[in-house]
Structure 1
Amino acid sequence: MQSVILWYLLCCVLRSAGYIAQNNPQSRKTAVYCHAYGLKQLLKSSRVRKVGSGEDDVLNCWKKKKTGNEKYTTSRMTEFREDGFLVLEHFFTAEECDSMRNQIQKIVAEMEVPPHCRTEFSTKEDEQLQAQGSSDYFLTSGDKIRFFFEKGVLDEKGNFLIPKKKSVSKIGHALHAYDPVFKQITHSSKVQELGRKLGLERPVVVQSMYIFKQPGIGGEVTPHQDATFLHTEPLGRVLGFWIALEDATQENGCLWFIPGSHTSGITRRMVRAPSGTSTCVEFVGSEPGYDDSQFIPLPISKGGLILIHGEVVHKSELNSSESSRHVFTFHVMEAKDTSWSKENWLQPTPELPFPSLYT
């Protein structure tokens, strides 16, 4: 029986790799390498992997649809279930991407952040606690549109050392709620249709970010799992939508993933610190060390969408190129039978309860 299951999964993996290679020649090598790695890990296993929390896991919510695209949907589901991420090339049009980039230019042009609130963004734990962790500006940004800057662009008084439009690292965390362009994209019919194909019954949007990855200085994002910061009970109920607004390449800082790493839970959480402590947040547990050879790059074309399971390990490198790598990303939670941790840094507010994806 086990050999039959392995043979079936092998066919699905090879079929998925062929689909990607046929429809996206630029990513042929990456697709083949990715699926070869997934196959290797599968064959090394003594049993078929169990995903997350069984039927509670969002991957198991992708229902099989009785449509003409049933074969395609089942193949992509298998790919997602095994890898913990899924690439959907050309999901958004070039016009939609340009509309988001044009809108963010207007937002940056009107940006006004008092010097004492200017915070450098980092994913390194000690720097994260020192910068975002000690700032109410970050902690209360869940229902606002706020600005965070690249490392090294501010002097000791918070003044800009380079033009401000080139200094922004990200804008978060409620573009999806308060800006009409990003709200329309987040709640677009194609996103809602994808949510329904995934079987999401009561998805809510918990946060959104615009990430610039500035040329030459766009900081690395260290290996992490989104569930470290967005924790739910049970686990496996958070899903990231990562939209490339321009080509993401290895040179300008595309995402890297460890395929299949979403099946082992999490070992670290960022939580709100008790009142009276020196920082607003703290880390509980520790991130394990990862072998760089386990990661595979996922370059993607402008308009492409990457679905990211909340527990899959991923990262991006420093952008040392002369090209930016703009992205709009948001996270949804399946709210049905799910509890959002009250210890999470991000909390719904009376002014902005988590809005339904289907509105």
Structure 2
Amino acid sequence: MSGLLALLDDVAGIAKVAAASVDDVAAQAAKAGAKAAGAVIDDAAVTPKYVQGFAPARELPIIWKIARGSIRNKLLILLPAALLLSNFAPWAIAPLLMLGGAYLCFEGAEKIYHALVPHDDSHVFEEDVPGDPAHLEEKKAAGAIKTDFILSAEIMTIILSAIPPSGFWMEAATLAFAGVGITVAVYGSVALIVKMDDVGLFMAQNGRFGLTRGFGRALVRAMPKVMKLLTIIGTAAMLWVGGAIIVHGLEELGFGWLGHHIHDWAEAVAHLVPAAWEGFVEWSAKAAMDGVFGLALGLALIPVATKVLVPLWGALRGKKDAAQ
């Protein structure tokens, strides 16, 4: 009997350790996921455009297709790559983060530049080609998954950099937990956003009460403005996160001048307001300065991308197609 009790006690101890490990994974994933908030917001802001122009009945299937591709990207490609980096080339994490941050700055700056100075951006963004709806749907989903791959790589690298030193399996579990959780949050939110106008239309046409029908009509009218606001928030988040990643990366590489000045300037601004608001104002000022730096860097990268990288990529693709 005492042996059985001892065994049960050991099992209870193992269960407690396992539960604690699960709690640790969830806590680390939540903290690390918060670090990737800007890229996550951008992911959620970018995706709705891929279902525009399709029949309402096809919107959710397309989102589900993109979400499946996103999970495959994160778990089958990016997670193993991140673990290899963490264990065999940790020195490469900061430069890769900075490369992703530069891409976010370029994307955000390109959107602002295009809004202020309308121009042909087919060299950056794929144009819609009319054709068979099924083929167009596949093409749109494939394009969204490619864009998601870039953003997911940035998200997973940010998460990896935010995980405190731990064992291989803890890192793997945290990355997987955070990656899947972020994907569910992003594409669940996207599904709600793209169907909200349908919900409003249904309420406007079928509501039993005048208030319900009025709310439905207001919802339909509000959705274009909501989508525009989401695009603005996503662009600001790209510039803020991209700029912050570059500034932090420079500090890690030994070039801390800019980061120190941004910190000092943010503190100086915070001292101008009552003590209760200092923390919020300091964070806001730092985020704004990171965003301004991200915008400046992104604008500088536009000619590099459009005049050098895109033609070079086109030439390489042309040679590949000719060889085939």
TM-score by length of 1: 0.24
Alignment TM-score, normalising by the size of structure 2? 0.26
Higher Cα Rg: structure 1 or 2?
2
Greater per-residue strand proportion = 1
Q: Flag the structure with more relative contact order, 1 or 2, with Cα contacts below 8 A and sequence separation at least 6.
A: 2
